[in-house]
Amino acid sequence: MARSRLTATPNHDVSTDSGPVLLSLTEAEKYMLQIDLNASQFADITNMSVCAAVVEGDNDGEGTKPASVLSGATSVECPIIMPPNSFWLGKGGTASNLETNQFRVYFDAEEILSTWSTQPTVGKPVYGFLSVVIDELADDSETSFQQHFELLRGQVEFVKSIC
């Protein structure tokens, strides 16, 4: 689980993860990212809530990675495919169902970029900030402790396709 700052290079990071991610997509790409969770901690996520969202960064139009979110930007939620009923027709027409500790996040670059104030141009990408979280669904008792896990965070780079 990434905990190091996205915009800084730390001298010492007590996290034992590989840090934030960078996902690069073309402006019209549709991409499915499968996330496999640690089965000992998340053996069955069918009764959990998963959310993935991308929010526009404070892009300068020159292709520089922004250090912060654009003021007033709204986040775009990405569709989640969860087990059961998680049938997906994969590469080559092969069907694959998800295990109870897997889910997929669907990124539609056109939809995400549709409300952004800065669009990518050739050689000048734009960036957004990405977060994927999972929550235990709370029960009705007052003593329940609902856990919240930030599974993935980072930046999404959108590049202009030259085709």
The model's pTM? 0.76
Q: Are 25 and 158 in contact, with CB atoms under 8 Å apart? A: yes
2 is a domain residue: no
Number of domains in the chain: 1
Nearest Cα to 98, choosing from 112, 109, 82? Answer: 82
5 is a domain residue: no
46 is a domain residue: yes
- Euclidean distance between CA atoms 136 and 111, whole angstroms: 28
15 is a domain residue: no
Q: Which has more confidence, 18 or 69?
A: 69
Q: Are 127 and 59 in contact, with CB atoms under 8 Å apart? A: yes
11 is a domain residue: no
pLDDT in tens, 76-106: 999 888 766 555 444 444 445 677 778 888 8
30 is a domain residue: yes
Q: What is the mean pLDDT of the chain?
A: 79
Q: Are 6 and 155 in contact, with CB atoms under 8 Å apart? A: yes
Nearest Cα to 49, choosing from 148, 145, 123? Answer: 148
Note down the domain range covering 146: 21-159
Average the pLDDT over 20-35 and give the result: 87
- Here the CATH number for the domain that contains residue 144 is 2.60.40
Percent of the chain residues topping a pLDDT of 70: 73
- The one-character DSSP state at 71 is T
1 is a domain residue: no
9 is a domain residue: no
Rg (CA), the chain: 17
